[in-house]
């Protein structure tokens, strides 16, 4: 899930010198931030330090992090057909070369000892930020477009799907061992709308990747759409922390792996609490093939290093038993 780096003192030291966007756009710095959690914790996989909104920027809609109040602010909102039409999906390769440069550097540094994951936001999730013009308390405008102007919505989604597909293919060519698609806004949709508004476009992306590497799909809060998620063709479904993972595993075909799902908030508590809850999940999943232990969402900024260490130690000790 989201990088562990932002809770690390070595990451915060870099943030005192560089903005988030500077870290993302500078391959050497992005590589360093990607490797920091590996150096400290020895995770089984490194996830490239980047952001889902690099795709929006490559299409022509820049972004920045708000200095006051937090969250993301786009340079402008997609508030008209003209704004959508101006998005240029043909410039992805050139404008996102810094991402593949960072991937190549990271791949070389890992030297085959640790897996490297690339990622992208789903078209639906990107559309929400791009139409709203940034982070908001509740995403509503993308749904308004989906219901009231379906042809314009489809035009936007075709552009985003093409862009995300090319971006993921670039990452695979640069050495990503697997890629993740984050549908973080999937749960804002009614179950009846999820297929048309989100899953359809994810399925197109996964089909276009043609089985080159495993694809992990995380769709937050879409608890009524398991069959639709399976039909996307993802190799791994990652779930949030609001479900019992053993129950979810029982719903899936054995050919699909499952990833999850410790509540990230536990990382802000105490090591013994983290160890207890981690062990509970491991007990529930013991004997299940195709299980990747992970969080149910991203590492919170307030995560304690000793809690992450307790998680890692508990998983490793269980695997050796």
What are the pLDDT digits (tens) for 81-118? 999 999 998 999 999 999 999 999 999 999 999 999 99
Same domain, 266 and 216: no
Q: Which residues pair with 262 in a beta bridge?
A: 295
Same domain, 100 and 41: yes
Domain span at 155 = 5-238
Same domain, 199 and 298: no
Same domain, 167 and 273: no
Same domain, 233 and 263: no
d(CA 81, CA 153): 9
- Edge to edge, the sheet with strand 291-295 lists 45-47, 115-121, 178-183, 215-219, 236-238, 257-262, 291-295
Going by pLDDT thresholds of 50, 70 and 90, the confidence category of residue 251 is confident
Same domain, 138 and 193: yes
pLDDT at site 223: 86
pLDDT at site 157: 98
Among 3-7, 275-279, 300-304, name the most confident range: 275-279
d(CA 16, CA 107): 26
User: What is the SS3 assignment for 321?
Assistant: coil
Q: Is the pLDDT of residue 319 over 90?
A: no
Residue 105 resides in a domain: yes
Going by pLDDT thresholds of 50, 70 and 90, the confidence category of residue 6 is confident
Same domain, 153 and 288: no
pLDDT at site 301: 84
Both tokens of 187, joined, read 């749960």
Q: How many CB atoms lie within 10 A of CB 313?
A: 15
Residue 245 resides in a domain: no
pLDDT at site 96: 97
pLDDT at site 54: 96
Both tokens of 25, joined, read 């756009």
What is the value of pTM for the model shown?
A: 0.94
Nearest Cα to Cα of residue 269 among 239, 306, 318, 295:
306
Residue 179 resides in a domain: yes
């Amino acid at each position: 899930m989201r990088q562990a780096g932002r809770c690390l003192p070595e990451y915060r030291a870099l943030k005192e010198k560089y903005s988030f966007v500077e870290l993302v756009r500078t391959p050497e710095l992005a590589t360093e931030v990607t490797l920091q959690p590996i150096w400290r914790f020895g995770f089984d996989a490194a996830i490239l330090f980047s952001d889902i909104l690099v795709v929006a920027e490559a299409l022509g809609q820049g972004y920045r992090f708000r200095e006051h109040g937090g969250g993301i602010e786009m340079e402008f909102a997609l508030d008209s057909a003209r704004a959508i039409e101006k998005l240029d999906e043909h410039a992805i390769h050139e404008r996102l070369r810094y991402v593949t440069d960072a991937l190549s550097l990271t791949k070389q540094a890992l030297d085959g000892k640790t897996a490297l994951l690339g990622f992208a936001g789903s078209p639906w999730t990107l559309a929400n930020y791009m139409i709203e013009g940034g982070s908001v308390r509740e995403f509503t405008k993308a749904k308004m477009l989906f219901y009231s102007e379906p042809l314009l919505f489809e035009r936007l989604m075709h552009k985003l799907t093409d862009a995300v597909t090319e971006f993921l293919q670039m990452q695979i060519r640069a050495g990503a061992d697997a890629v993740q698609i984050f549908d973080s806004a999937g749960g804002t949709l009614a179950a009846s709308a999820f297929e048309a508004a989100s899953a359809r476009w994810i399925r197109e992306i996964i089909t276009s990747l043609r089985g080159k590497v495993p694809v992990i799909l995380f769709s937050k809060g879409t608890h009524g759409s398991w069959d639709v998620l399976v039909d996307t063709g993802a190799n791994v479904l990652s779930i949030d922390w609001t479900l019992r993972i053993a129950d979810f595993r029982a719903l899936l075909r054995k050919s699909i792996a499952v990833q999850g799902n410790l509540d990230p908030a536990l990382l802000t508590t105490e090591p013994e609490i983290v160890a207890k809850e981690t062990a509970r999940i491991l007990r529930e999943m013991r004997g299940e093939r195709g299980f990747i232990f992970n969080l149910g969402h991203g590492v919170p900024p307030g995560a304690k290093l000793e809690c992450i260490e307790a998680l890692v130690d508990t998983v490793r000790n269980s695997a050796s038993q």
